[in-house]
Amino acid sequence: MKQNGKVWLLGAGPSDPELLTLKGKRVLEQAEVVIYDKLVGAGILSMIPDTAQRIDVGKTAGSHPVPQEEINRLLLEYAQKGKRVVRLKGGDPFVFGRGGEELELLSKHQIPFEIVPGITSAVSVPAYGGIPVTHRNLSSSVHIVTGHAQKGKALSIPYEALVQAGGTIIFLMGVSALKEICQGLLSAGISPQMPGAVLERGTTAYQRRVVGTVSDLYEKFLEAEIKTPAIIVVGEVCRLSEKFHWAEDRPLGRQRVIVTRPRKRASILSGMLRELGAEVVELPSIRTVRLRRNTLLGQAISGIAVYDWVVFTSPEGVELFFEELKERRVDVRKLSHLKFAAIGSATKKAIEDRNILVEYMPSVYNTEYLAKGLARRVYRKERVLIPRSVKGSKVLTDILAENHIAYDDIPLYDVKPELQHPIELLPEDLVTFTSASTVKGFVERFPKADLSKVRAVCIGEQTAAEARKSGMRVFVSRMATMESMVEKILALAKEKDKS
Based on the shown chain and the rule CB under 6 A, indicate whether residue 230 belongs to the binding site for ligand SAH: yes
Which residues are tagged catalytic?
A: 37, 59, 173
C-beta closer to ligand SAH: residue 43 or 91 = 91
Least separation in angstroms between residue 70's CB and ligand SAH is 19
Q: Which of residues 75-94 bind ligand SAH (CB under 6 A)?
A: 89-92
Binding residue (CB under 6 A) for ligand SAH from 27, 162, 172, 300: 172
Interface with ligand SAH by CB under 6 A: which range of 65-73, 119-127, 299-307, 359-367?
119-127
Binding residue (CB under 6 A) for ligand SAH from 129, 229, 253, 373: 229
C-beta closer to ligand SAH: residue 180 or 444 = 180
C-beta closer to ligand SAH: residue 97 or 212 = 97
Nearest residue relative to ligand SAH (C-beta): 91
Based on the shown chain and the rule CB under 6 A, indicate whether residue 195 belongs to the binding site for ligand SAH: no
Based on the shown chain and the rule CB under 6 A, indicate whether residue 231 belongs to the binding site for ligand SAH: yes
Based on the shown chain and the rule CB under 6 A, indicate whether residue 121 belongs to the binding site for ligand SAH: yes
Interface with ligand SAH by CB under 6 A: which range of 226-234, 265-273, 284-292, 367-375?
226-234
Based on the shown chain and the rule CB under 6 A, indicate whether residue 203 belongs to the binding site for ligand SAH: yes
Least separation in angstroms between residue 167's CB and ligand SAH is 18
- How far apart CA 422 and CA 445 sit, in angstroms, is 7
Binding residue (CB under 6 A) for ligand SAH from 10, 199, 258, 412: 199
* Mask for 93-112, x = binds ligand SAH (CB under 6 A): --xxx---------------
Beta-strand relationship, 84-89 and 455-458? unpaired
**Residues near ligand SAH, by CB under 6 A:** 14-15, 39, 89-92, 95-97, 120-122, 125, 172-173, 199, 201-203, 229-231
